[in-house]
Amino acid sequence: MKQFIRYVLSALLTISSIIFILVSTISSTILNEKYVLNKLEETNYYSNIYEAVKSNFENYIYQSGLDEKVLDDIVSQEKVKEDTKSIISHIYNGLEEQIDAETIKQNLNTNIENSLKNIKLSSTQKNAIETFVNTVTDEYTDTILHFGFEKDIYTVYHNISKYVELAKKIMLVSIAVCLILLVLITLKRVYRIFNFAAISSTATGIFLVIVKMVIASKINVEAISILNDAISLTLRNIASEILQNLMNYGCILIAVGIITIILANLIHNIKKYKKAYKKEQED
Amino acid sequence: MHKKIVVKTLKATIISIIVALCFTGAIVLSIYLFYGAKINETMAVVSKYAIEKERKQLPPTTITEDNVIENYPEYGTQYATIEIPRIDINLPLYYGDDLKLLKTGIGQSPLGYFPGEGGSIVLMGHNFVNMFRRFSELQKGDKITIKATYGEYTYNIYDMQIIKETETDKIPIQDEKEILMVYTCYPFNNIGYATHRYVVYAELEK
């Protein structure tokens, strides 16, 4: 009966460990604002998105009849970075994003005025210029925002975070309870505790490796392409790192598990041998 | 005796690993039974965004005697050139109307038909100096030739119109007659956002 309970506890320990590792991985990566900001820096997101903004502006200049120079310095990479951080902060903290398109509008208007200072504009042309300026500034906001439903993402993120944190705590308690019960049941033979804990560790490791292999076989992470190159590159980087982490945790747990199983069984057999030898001597 | 210990340890280790495998198998099986369909669905959605970098070579586009195009060109690729001798135009024609494509050539709206198919063909280009800046010089009877990978088509211009950007009904998509509609932003020397389009209508030469 005790042996059966040990196996049940070991199975529960495995399930708790798996959920704990998966949930911790999510909470320390995509649900972690600092991690995401680091990844954006690492993948040159700001400079890539800056290039995308400039390229999108160029699409409008070709049909505008204006000199390309009117786009010079209307937006800086620093501003792109600030606005992106504002959006990230909005998603993670619910703070109101502050994308100041007015500065761009002013810079563009100044450049256009300088470029056309010797030309007398008709009211139609003035209206066309105003529409052009508004279109360019809207284009900037669209390129930076991408989705336009940050509030929804924040709500989803907020709910997921709550459950993730709760799941982490529950799993930690579950792991602790399983280990304590294993100790209580197997108090006289400590090596057995290690053996059952090691079985859980190995099973958890195998599961993580399987998860990584299944995902990698079904999704070509390195080819993920969403919205634009800057976003795709960052997403690929984050997805690859999460999968690599799962693989690493899996391999470590398998190695630690197998070594512990060997040691625990070795200790058990040596003790058994010594006991038998002692009994033989006594007889 | 030592050998016995080693053998026993080895046996116990193998049994423990088998138990671990059984645990994993049971967990995987449970997940598959309860959430298998949802997981596969999610994977399928995500994998749609994983575009293979190496594109397969597509078979060449051809047209049958009944004007049916086989193997349409891939979106974003150049499949023809457009020639308008009156205004010295000889430019690449892309299938697609991405702004990126329009930087280097003429785009074809995916909403319309292909040359030879017998319907409306909608082409667009910027009014750059080296593109459609001289569009106003075109006259009725002028020719526009599209040299596609699957055939050559010549059209005669029969009308020109200046329309508002929003007047999409002036560029109707129909499949009864092969009509070529080419447009660019208007005025040609426009300053600011162009709210009008200069459209040239041409019909297939018999």
Q: How many CB atoms lie within 10 A of CB A86?
A: 18
B45: part of which helix (H) or strand (E)? helix B2-48
| pLDDT for B184 beyond 50 | yes
B185 among known catalytic residues: yes
CA distance B124 to chain A (A): 12
Across the interface, of B20, B43, B102, the residue whose CB is closest to A203 is B20
Q: Does A250 touch chain B (CB under 8 A)?
A: no
Q: pLDDT value at position B56?
A: 53
Q: pLDDT value at position B201?
A: 97
Q: How many CB atoms lie within 10 A of CB A258?
A: 18
The model's pLDDT over A118-169, given as tens digits with 9 standing for 90+, comes to 778 788 888 888 888 888 888 888 888 766 566 677 778 888 888 999 999 9
pTM for this entry: 0.70
A265:B26 CB<8 A: no
Q: pLDDT value at position A147?
A: 60
Q: In chain B, pLDDT over 90 holds for what percent of residues? A: 57
Q: pLDDT value at position B54?
A: 46
**Preceding omega of B115 cis (within 30 degrees of 0):** no
B22 among known catalytic residues: no
Note the ipTM here.
0.77
Q: pLDDT value at position B96?
A: 92
Residues of B (40-59) whose Cβ lies below 8 Å from A:
43, 46-47, 49-53
Give the pair of three-digit tokens for residue A254. 């398998």
| pLDDT for B179 beyond 90 | yes
Task: Tell me the pLDDT band of B17, cut-offs 50, 70 and 90.
Answer: very high
Asked whether A237 and A42 are in contact (CB, 8 A), the reply is yes
The mean of the pLDDT values for chain B is 88
A64:B126 CB<8 A: no
Lowest mean pLDDT across A271-275, B95-99, B192-196, B200-204: B192-196
Q: Does A248 touch chain B (CB under 8 A)?
A: no
Q: Does A60 touch chain B (CB under 8 A)?
A: yes
B53:A127 CB<8 A: no
Ranges of chain A with pLDDT below 50: none
Asked whether B188 and B137 are in contact (CB, 8 A), the reply is no
DSSP B56: P
The model's pLDDT over B112-153, given as tens digits with 9 standing for 90+, comes to 999 999 999 999 998 887 888 889 999 999 999 999 999 999
| pLDDT for B52 beyond 70 | no
Distance set, CA B42 to CA A7, A26, A215, B35 (Å): 33, 17, 11, 11
Asked whether A240 and A53 are in contact (CB, 8 A), the reply is no
Across the interface, of A14, A218, A221, the residue whose CB is closest to B23 is A14
A199:B51 CB<8 A: no
Q: In chain B, pLDDT over 70 holds for what percent of residues? A: 95
B151: part of which helix (H) or strand (E)? strand B151-164
B50:A219 CB<8 A: yes
Q: pLDDT value at position A156?
A: 81
B50:A224 CB<8 A: yes
